[in-house]
Amino acid sequence: MAEYPHILIAGAGIGGLTAATALAQKGSVVDVFEQATQLAEVGAGLQQSANAMHAHRALGIDAEVIKRGFSPHNVVLRDFKAGRPLLRVPLGDAHETRYGAPYVHIHRADLHDILRNAATKAGVTIHLGHSVTGFDQDAQKVTLHCGDKHYTGDALIGADGVRSTIAKQINPRAVEPRFTGQIAWRGIVSTATIPKDTLPPDATAWLGPGRHCVAYYLRGGELINFVAVEERDAWIDEGWSQKGDVKALRQAFAGWDPRLTTLLNACQETFLWGLFDHAASNTTSWGKGRVSLLGDACHPMLPFMAQGAAMAIEDGYVLASEIMRDGPNIDSALRRYEIMRHPRTARIQKRSLDNAAMFHHGPGAAKFLRDAKLKIAQHLPAAQHSQFDWIYGYDATEPFALK
């Protein structure tokens, strides 16, 4: 193997492009294989807390992320009907001062574009229209199969999402995900289509019985992204591409805070996806030999901590760091990466699942207890922040800095 390893990456999403950029910036030859014939991301918002922004800074793209995003002032949890604040957590300067990097909302397509440009500038080759069908490996190399095309390298990274072909070959007996009984609508609304200042410059979440909705600004305030979650018995596919019924969305949240209903009334198109709980796997399910996984391929996240993209970004940076630290020993580098990342991602998976229950307490004692806890948290800001320190205070670039 050459001094700098040749890395194959299946999947040109957020995590795959982060890993590709980090590797290529330090000299690795990187080929990324994407089944889509055009490199474009679906329209949705992402929340990039300080832990993600540290990695962006190390890759030299943080200024562009900030420029093309939106910096919220607070996270505000509100009562579904009256809209009264239940909890307000300062972001803005408070987040940056405490954690060393800002909190930014960004359109997924914009972050994808920034990463694609950074990867290309670093010398990454992106192969479009390449559907991954499997791999073979031996002690010296790994070969990726894309139909009748075959590519050989020193390591293979499966960044090919929740339906990962690479993951299925590594662990064909993986436990099937469990439908949570919740579905989510997502959509984007132009700010110009609703009355000025309908929503404050915050990440706002309305909590109600059996459902909740989160909304926040993108692109400097030009757009508003929302994710509306409802409990349902009927199963809906886990993918993001199923079109939803806007009238059904509005009906589900009828009678809620007028600020929210105004937003939903302006929505012209929405998409549905089913929310599935993926039990945290063990590290042996993440990799084998010269092959490993990152992001949704090994730890899909429910959206209730807004950390799915951030975890894939952290994965990509740590993975690149370990490979570049010990390039000639690919197997051991990948196993170290898996051991490092597994406890953190499993903990955030669990926290996300716990939040699903907290957001949807119905009337009665459960709601009273939840609201009491939030009220106490509001009056104890130090304790309020400290519960997030382990998430936002993590900096993948410090202990695993690329050399």
Tell me the catalytic residues: 216
Distance (Å, whole) CA 298 – CA 365: 37
Burial (CB < 10 A; 0-12, 13-18, 19+), residue 115, is buried
Distance (Å, whole) CA 309 – CA 241: 18
Count of other CB atoms within 10 angstroms of residue 236: 17
Buried (b) or exposed (e) across 336-370, using 16+ Cβ within 10 A? bbbebbbebbbebbebbbebbeebbbeeeeebeeb
Distance (Å, whole) CA 403 – CA 398: 11
Q: Distance between alpha carbon 242 and the CA centroid of its chain, in Å?
A: 19
Is residue 16 within 8 A of residue 32, CB to CB? The reply is: yes
Distance (Å, whole) CA 33 – CA 9: 6
Look at residue 165 and give its three-state secondary structure: helix
Distance (Å, whole) CA 53 – CA 69: 12
Distance (Å, whole) CA 308 – CA 49: 11
Distance (Å, whole) CA 231 – CA 183: 6
